[in-house]
Structures are given as C-alpha cells and as structure tokens.
Amino acid sequence: MRYFALLAILLAACSSKIGDNQPGAADARPIDFRDPPEPKEGSGTAAGCNGVTARGECTQGTAVRCELDRGRLRRVDCRALGQNCILDISHGAVCKSLEEEDTGEGSGAASACTDTGTSEAGFCTTAGVAVYCDTTGDEPVTRTWNCSDNNMTCGVGDCREGAFCCGNEGSTSDEDPCIAAGLDFNGTCDPVGEVARWCFPGSEPQVRDCALTGQRCEEDTCATGAFCCGEVEITGDLTPEEECAALGLAGICDDDLAKARYCLGGEVVVDECEGTETCLEDECVFGAGCCEPPEEPSNECEAIGYDGVCDDADTLRVCYGDIDADIETESCGEGWTCKVDADGYADCEEVIDPCADLGVEGTCPDDNTLHYCLSGELSVINCADQNKTCRVNACLPGAADCCE
C-alpha cells in the first residue's frame, strides 16, 4: 500500500529526493595518555541525559550516570560518603578511596586532583593498575585503568608520558592480532546485523554472536562502534564464556529479582540478595545489583513531587511543597497536551503535527526506525525487528525503507 502511494507521488510531482542520512563519523583517534579507550558496555546514552553515558562522569565530587531505561541522570555524592569520584576504565564513574588501592611505583605528588593528591604523571599500583590525574576535561579527575584485565602492562613513561597501560603498540601485522584481523576499537558488524567484531589494543580480536543472546549487531547506537544491542535473552544453551559475554558488567536480575548476575574478570558472578534487598538495575550500583527497595512516599504530594504527573492529556499536577495541600492542578488548554519528557518532568507542551514536514517518502532517524506519513497518519517501524537496516534511497528509490 505504502509503495504504491509513494510511486504515485513520485510519478506525479517529480519531487526532490531525500538525501542519504550521513551516519556520525566515529572518533578514530588512537589511544593516548589522556584518552584511554572506553569499554563498549555502558557507552550508550539517552535523550534526557545531556550526553552523559551509562558509565558516567565525575562532576564536583559527584558520580553522575545515565539511567538508560528511565532516560534520566542519577547522581551519587561521593564526598558525602567520605570518598572521591574516580573514573575507572572498566566501571566508569565510581565512588572510592585511593587508600583501597595498593601503592606502587611512580609519582604521587599532588597536582590539580587535590581530592586524591594524584599527579598528572600518576603511578602504577602493585596490582598493575594505572592511576593518574586527567586534566583534559572541564575539571580534573582521577582515572584508574586495570592493565592486567586487558592483557597489558602498567608502565610510567614506557609507552606514553606518565602512567599508562602498554601493549603491542608499534607492532607489525605479523605480531599484532588486531592489525592482522583488520579491526580497531570501533569494529564492524559482519555479517551485517549478526556478529559484532572489534579489537581492544594489546589484546585478541573480540567476537560476539548477537543471535545467541537474542540481540542484533548495530554500529554507534547502544555503544561506540559495533556491538550487540537490544534486550539480552539468556538461555540454557550458552556456554559460560558466551553467557559472560552476553551479561557484561551491567548484568541482569534473575530468579524474580532475588539474584544479580553479571560478568566480572571473565567469570559469571551471582549475588544473592539478602534480607529486605531486591535486585534492581541502575539503582544503587551500575547495572544489576542487590539494593534496599526505595522508600514508599508518605503522601500524594511526595509521590508526585516537583517532577509532576499527567492525569490525562489536558491535566498537569505538580507538588510545590511537602503536603497534599501544596499540589497544584493546571489545565493545558486547546492546542497543548500534558507530556512527560525524557528527564521524567511533566509539563504542558504544544501539540505538533508529526506529519507537517514528513510525507510518504519517510526518513531514517539515528535509532534505526523508519518514519513516514500516509494520509496524515504517522507510522513508525523498527527495522531491527525485521533484521533489516533503515536506509534512504537504497532499496526503495527516492525514499526511506527497511532494507536488507
């Protein structure tokens, strides 16, 4: 139906073609002292997180992460816990004290990272962890990088200035498996949509069969470069290695929220929740973890909060205080509707016709969905559900469609 409607429009009007969407160019810079490669797990973000990823960042002593499922930021004040906010290459923004780390070789003289007293040169711990002060961002932050976890060796001034994880830099294709395989950290989906392949400097090429976990290989959507995206479906057919690869550091909640299952150091870890704890995702830790359930609100005002709620399309309610008498109700009025945005805030928004600038030719947003309008009605199709990719002017001349 849509094809014939499109064909009629093209024949009748010779309308201009919609150009191909150019995918964002991946950052191809080689690793250096200030910018170690970021693991694919946790590199995704959401519209309401202002560019902050699930791995997070440190801001004025606070660990800030993106809750992908809720599309909003989560903050933990490390200073209130008597700790420091540190960017760990494997775990992202975490609250910890460097007193927990073994001291090792290298400079520990104070510099811009006054909270930890770590210098820009940094040091290597006896456990093979590179620790240094990163001053390239908006504010200085202490970074830690466990070199042994990535088959690399920590050195101070060996392969880079200061503390850094050193591997096979400068190797030839005969020596470096990454070069021999023609892979970098961004990697590729080969075959398209099925298997994710990439390479971490100094290690063997990584291969993840997305079909084993009910996922699809996509590039630069849920992670940097090629990675298995979509909800993980763990089955009994997986080997321990495959299950570990599927779980990742984030993991999942299992057995009716009684256990947290995740992968750490190549091993599947199962944490059994005790007492009043229950398994929650991105609540008290990154990913799945045993947490105390959130406290129930004491009244309706506390439940609504300043974020507000939409009782219906025309009614907005917001609490501006602590008791139910502080709840205010607002009617959005004609041409406006009550909506909850990606940050969880409810507000009256102007009604915008999605088909005003969109016709049957359609378009492909970055989330691999096909959007088009027919007879004034918007249709949205997830091409990944068909094991296809949304493309413009590819399989359907002059328009967007889900293509093989």
- In whole angstroms, give the CA distance from residue 52 to residue 137: 13
Dihedral, CA of residue 181, residue 184, residue 189 and residue 195, to nearest 10: 60
Report helix, strand or coil for 29.
Answer: coil
Say which residue the tokens 């049957």 belong to. 360
| pLDDT at residue 6 is higher than 50 | no
| pLDDT at residue 385 is higher than 60 | yes
Report helix, strand or coil for 106.
Answer: strand
Q: List the one residue out of 132, 127, 142, 140 whose CA is nearest residue 164.
A: 132
- Least confident range of 134-143, 312-321, 370-379, 389-398: 134-143
- In whole angstroms, give the CA distance from residue 176 to residue 324: 66
Measured at the CA of 103, the angle between CA 101 and CA 108, to 5 degrees, comes to: 110
Q: List the one residue out of 397, 380, 402 whose CA is nearest residue 10.
A: 397
Phi and psi (nearest 5°) for 101?
-90, 145
pLDDT tens digits along 202-233: 567 888 888 877 888 888 777 778 888 877 77
pLDDT tens digits along 68-92: 766 777 777 788 778 888 888 767 8
pLDDT tens digits along 37-70: 556 666 777 777 777 888 888 887 888 888 776 6
| pLDDT at residue 23 is higher than 70 | no
Q: List the one residue out of 130, 230, 224, 228 whose CA is nearest residue 185.
A: 224
Measured at the CA of 290, the angle between CA 289 and CA 292, to 5 degrees, comes to: 125
User: What are the C-alpha distances in Å from 378 to residues 162, 333, 334, 361, 398?
Assistant: 55, 24, 21, 12, 19
Measured at the CA of 153, the angle between CA 151 and CA 159, to 5 degrees, comes to: 120
Two tokens, residue 67: 């809750």
Two tokens, residue 401: 């469609």
Two tokens, residue 270: 């199962």
Q: What is the pLDDT of residue 174?
A: 55
